[in-house]
Amino acid sequence: MKIFIYANYPSISNSVYLNLICGLPPEIKAGLGPSAGGKAKAAAYRMLSGALGFTPSISRNAYGKPFLSKEGDPQSAFFNISHSKTAVAVAVEDETGGEIGVDVEDFIPEQRLKSLKKAFSSKEMRRKDYAAKFWTLKESYLKCLGTGFSPPAPPPAKIDFSAYAPFQTFSSYDKYFFSMEFKGFHLSACAGKPFKPLMRMINEAELNSNNSF
């Protein structure tokens, strides 16, 4: 699995942002503005294009998970996208790897953790220093399933990763996981088959180019 990360998307200049949205398909470009959310989405799809080597056309399943859709596009890749308030992550896997999920989250302050209490098991709540890790593991797992938090997915508190707090790679719930702490945020990835994460940090010059990664 290849994972591409842009660590500070709010700092993307307006000129680079305008260049990014020029290359987006209409269904992605619609509704974007120069807000942080718009920059995150534009950066994510530019990174996806760079990873795939072509500008993808995107459809979504019944639960909202995106997938490659345009007839004639190579259908030999699975992908997933996530962003926090600061970082964007794009994960890509070839057809042999199957469905994947990725999630990135800034470290969770105590005040916000209280509002997310129902998403964690009692054992996880006793390991609050791993809150961002547990959250991204849950998200990546549910995104790999393709359901997100919607039924028939189990409630987040029923997905307990407390036993894996110290581990970077492990297998659980019939899936394989990778989880890593970065400066200011945490990233987790999930797949149905064993995988080796190949990570690459993307800079603004690469983001602003038309080259493949």
pLDDT digits (tens, 9 = 90+) for 36-47: 788 999 999 999
pLDDT of residue 34: 67
Helices 14-22 and 36-52 pack at an angle, to 10 degrees, of: 50
Task: Please say if the pLDDT value at position 74 is more than 70.
Answer: no
Domain assignment of residue 213, yes or no: no
DSSP-based three-state secondary structure for 125? helix
pLDDT of residue 172: 97
Domain assignment of residue 19, yes or no: yes
Note whether 201 and 5 are within 8 A (CB): yes
Domain assignment of residue 56, yes or no: yes
Name the residue among 164, 75, 84 with its Cα closest to residue 124: 164
Q: What is the pTM of this model?
A: 0.92
Domain assignment of residue 187, yes or no: yes
DSSP at 66: E
Q: Which amino acid is at 121?
A: S
Domain assignment of residue 109, yes or no: yes
77-83: strand order across its sheet: 77-83, 88-94, 2-6, 198-201
Tokens of residue 110, six digits: 């105590």
**How do residues 130-171 score in pLDDT, each as one tens digit?**
999 999 999 999 999 999 888 888 999 999 999 999 999 999
Query: Average pLDDT of 51-68?
Result: 84
- For 195, the domain range is 2-208
Q: Between the CA of residue 49 and those of 16, 90, 103, 123, what are the distances in Å?
A: 16, 10, 19, 40
What is the count of structural domains for the chain?
A: 1
Note whether 70 and 56 are within 8 A (CB): yes
